[in-house]
């Protein structure tokens, strides 16, 4: 295995490599690496690692919004359904007297 001192940065060929990305195993100079979760990773791998949790979070938020919309629809349907049942259970005299008072 070639020693790290003899390696060159993948992005800057005129610079010596100081670290190896733990994800892709390429050599990089000091400017091209960062620490993420106690690991040394390159910028490309860092972007991929940070993007993955956001996609999961977005997927879960979409599912949560869909579930919330469905539950709201079911709740409103139940309210109007039972309101209709209550109005149908009222005697017709109640409806006639109510309409008579509204149009006087």
Instruction: State pLDDT tens for residues 30-71.
Output: 888 988 878 899 888 888 887 766 666 777 888 899 999 999
Q: Is the pTM of this model over 0.75?
A: no
pLDDT recorded at residue 1: 43
pLDDT recorded at residue 104: 62
Radius of gyration for the alpha carbons in the chain, expressed in angstroms and rounded: 33
pLDDT recorded at residue 53: 67
Residues 20, 27: contact at Cβ < 8 Å? yes
- The Cα–Cα gap between 44 and 24 comes to 9
Domain range summary for the chain, segments of one domain joined by +: 1-104
How distant, in Å, are the alpha carbons of 34, 63, 101 from that of 72? 46, 14, 35
């Amino acid at each position: 295995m070639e020693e790290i001192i003899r390696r060159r940065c993948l992005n800057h060929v005129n610079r010596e490599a100081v670290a190896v990305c733990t994800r892709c195993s390429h050599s990089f100079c000091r400017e091209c690496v960062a620490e993420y979760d106690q690991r040394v990773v390159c910028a490309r791998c860092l972007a991929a690692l940070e993007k993955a949790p956001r996609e999961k979070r977005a997927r879960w938020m979409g599912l949560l919004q869909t579930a919330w919309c469905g539950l709201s629809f079911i709740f409103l349907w139940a309210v109007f359904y039972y309101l209709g049942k209550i109005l149908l259970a009222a005697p017709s005299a109640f409806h006639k007297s109510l309409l008579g008072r509204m149009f006087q």
